[in-house]
Amino acid sequence: MRVDPTAVVSADAKIGNDVTIGPFCIVESDVVLGDGCRLEGRVTIKSGTALGRENRVFEGAVLGSIPQHLKVPAELGRLEIGDRNTIRENVTMHRAMAAGQATVVGNDNLVMVNSHVAHDCHVGNNVVLINNTMLGGHVEIHDRVYMAGGAGIQQFCRVGRLATIGGQGRVTKDLPPYVVMDGLTGGVVGLNLVGIRRAGYTNDDIAQLKAAYRVIYRSGLTWNEVLVRLPGEFPDGPAADFHRFFVTGKRGFMCERRTPIAATVRLEPPSVDETPSLRIKAG
């Protein structure tokens, strides 16, 4: 273990092998730092925080603070961070609100400058949070999600695996897996084909996802009809993730940017003695 003489490390902290703690860092009691972790200067690790192996935390990050909430209980939960995460400058992550609960960050994530992970969030593996991204309380982010700079997710929302959120995007409902959300409009604009291919999905997998996307967003079916068709046509494979995600949703789902087929406004041709009239196609 290498500890800078200006660092303050509690004797009650559990420090693994080959850990580096840089200048002016603070490591409080009831902290676990796994083997190979590296804290750069001015990092603060608060009580109730555990880091796995080979995490690198950069200057000014504060991990394990109490939640930003009007009614913070006397007994809090924990912050649990997995292995091989890169946590850049001035990132903040908060403990869970209730004893026995945890804010959880998985493995191999990149959390960039000034990003915030609020209390009771669950972040999966291989997630990328670009500068100034914000996760409200109880947000759930599945594996390989990509959030561009300045994007925010409202509390209690979920983001499915391999979804991409555009810069300054505002996620106010659940965002399905595999899709791209435009940051300007907040609308879904297609599949995240670049990320899907990089994750090793086959051409057959991609064809299946495209077919499922058309059922969800382009078929003109009602929502209940979509929920019936998806498990029948896609009982397995990656497209089966859509139905599993939808049936567990409680906040609604981000819509496609283009106008749904079922909401198209049609101009009816006039009869001999009538003027043109508008009719909304039923969904």
Q: Using H for helix, E for strand and C for coil, what is the string for 28-41?
A: CCCEEECCCCEECC
Is residue 36 part of the annotated active site? The answer reads no
Q: What angle do CA 31, 37, 38 make, to 5 degrees?
A: 105
Q: Is the pLDDT of residue 283 over 50?
A: no
Active-site choice (120, 143, 174, 241) = 120
Is residue 142 part of the annotated active site? The answer reads no
Name the pairing type of β-strands 179-181 and 188-191.
antiparallel
Active-site choice (94, 116, 119, 142) = 119
Q: How many of the other CB atoms lie within 10 Å of CB of 205?
A: 17
User: How far, in Å, CA of 68 to CA of 85, rounded?
Assistant: 24
Q: What is the pLDDT of residue 263?
A: 53
The dihedral through the CA atoms of 140, 167, 152, 208 has a sign that is: negative
Q: How many of the other CB atoms lie within 10 Å of CB of 17?
A: 10
pLDDT above 70 covers a percentage of the chain that reads 92
Per-residue model confidence as pLDDT tens digits over 137-193: 999 999 999 999 999 999 999 999 999 999 999 999 999 999 999 999 999 999 999
Q: What angle do CA 81, 34, 115 make, to 5 degrees?
A: 30
Per-residue model confidence as pLDDT tens digits over 215-270: 999 999 999 999 999 999 999 999 999 999 999 999 999 999 987 665 544 444 55
Indicate the DSSP class of residue 216.
Answer: I
Read off the pLDDT of each residue in 94-111 and give the average, rounded to a whole number: 98
Is residue 137 part of the annotated active site? The answer reads yes
Domains and CATH numbers, the chain: 2-198 (2.160.10.10)
Q: What is the pLDDT of residue 143?
A: 98
Per-residue model confidence as pLDDT tens digits over 204-220: 999 999 999 999 999 99
The structure tokens listed for 41 are 């200067």
Active-site choice (34, 48, 137, 160) = 137
